Structure formats: structure tokens, C-alpha cells
A and B are shown apart, each in its own frame.
Chain A
Amino acid sequence: DTAVSQTPKYLVTQMGNDKSIKCEQNLGHDTMYWYKQDSKKFLKIMFSYNNKELIINETVPNRFSPKSPDKAHLNLHINSLELGDSAVYFCASSQGSPWASYEQYFGPGTRLTVT
């Protein structure tokens, strides 16, 4: 059973296009995240949702819009793709509560290449 899954695994597209990445978790967690890992392997959080509510919104261009239809799903839509958007995007989830470890479980990643 895949705990956190993402589709697609690879995405190659041209500048200016709009694309979406989907994420689903079957761990029963109530918090989900999107991270961007650049070519130097630096990992930075972009967004986080808790029970469909946006709780973390880092300095990310408005072209990126997350959507969480329910607590098991978090999608990322990117408008007007730019060369600098090329990266690996990871989805993650965690169980949040005052006594939880908040340990995050990561999906397999989506490698986005913008040409």
C-alpha cells in the first residue's frame, strides 16, 4: 500500500503552459504539504493544509495555487510555467495534534521539467 502517492511522476512541458500535480495520502493524516526541491537538492516548503484549510503559505509566486478537496488530497496547480519552476515537487503528510511527533511522510516526488 502506497502511503503518499503523487501523479504524475514525470512532467515535461513548455513555458507558458498550465499544469497540475495531484497528491493523495491513505494514512488518515490531517495535514498535507507541498515542497520544492531544486537542482542543488535544497528542500523548501511551499504550502500546507490542515483539514482542507491553508495554514502555511510561504513566499511562492501567485502562479502556484494549491487546492485540497478533502483531507486526503492536496493538488498543486501551476499557471504560466517558467524555466525556474523546473524542480522536483514533493507532497508530504503528517498527523498533527499537541502530542504527536508531526513526523512527515513524503510521496515519491514529481519531476517537473519546463522547456
Chain B
Amino acid sequence: ELKVEQNPLFLSMQEGKNYTIYCNYSTTSDRLYWYRQDPGKSLESLFVLLSNGAVKQEGRLMASLDTKARLSTLHITAAVHDLSATYFCAVGNFGNEKLTFGTGTRLTIIP
């Protein structure tokens, strides 16, 4: 059974700092996703990573995928308050459309 772990679960950081959220998964997968969820809101798709070594960037966020290590990272550069949210990684189960979500990382950016 595919298991997905994120760390840290909670992250409080100052504006302007850099940090990385980690997503580890237990079995082979061919795709990984990052989502953002604001309090009381739905999930917004941030990145879709489909191959080993894939790197995608949008603004202050950059996501990468290492399928051999079964690891994805979400890097935050020079954090701003607007990035405060819960971030989820989700891993695709090989051969079907099912996603297994990580536990989420609640990110709080302090001015």
C-alpha cells in the first residue's frame, strides 16, 4: 500500500526566509502533485511532476521530483505572507488514477 509522508507538519517562518517541504512516498509512482489549501477553501493545483528530475517553478515556489529516492521537495524562496496555507503533496498510484495524499504541511509566514 502506498504511503505518503510530509514533513514538517507545521512550519512557521519569517518573511524573506527560504525553506523546503519534503514529501516521501513508499512505492513506485509515475506522477506527483502539489496542492495548496487556504483555510475553509478548496484545493488548488500548484504543480504536476511526471518524470524523474522534473523541476517546476511558479513565483516563489519551486517543486522537484526524484523518483529514485521517492522524494519530492517544495522550496519556498523569500517567503511572503500570502504564501501562508496548507500544502499537500499527492502521489499517483501506478497504473490507475487514484491519488494518495500526504498529511499536509501547515505553513505560517510571520511578518
A→B interface (CB under 8 Å): 31, 41-45, 48, 50, 55-56, 90, 92, 94, 96, 101-109
Contacts and interface: CB of A to CB of B under 8 A. Distances in A.
Nearest to B45: A103
Given A101-B31, A106-B43, A50 B97 contact: yes
Contacts of A43: 43, 88, 101, 104
B96 A56 contact: yes
B11 interface: no
B103 interface: yes
Contacts of A94: 97
Contacts of B41: 108-109
Contacts of A96: 97
A102 B88 contact: no
Contacts of A108: 41-42
A106 B104 CA distance: 16
Nearest to A104: B99
B99 A45 contact: yes
Nearest to B47: A103
A41 B41 CA distance: 12
Nearest to B44: A106
A58 to B, nearest CB: 9
B64 interface: no
Given A101-B31, A109-B42, A42 B48 contact: no
Contacts of A102: 31, 92, 97, 99
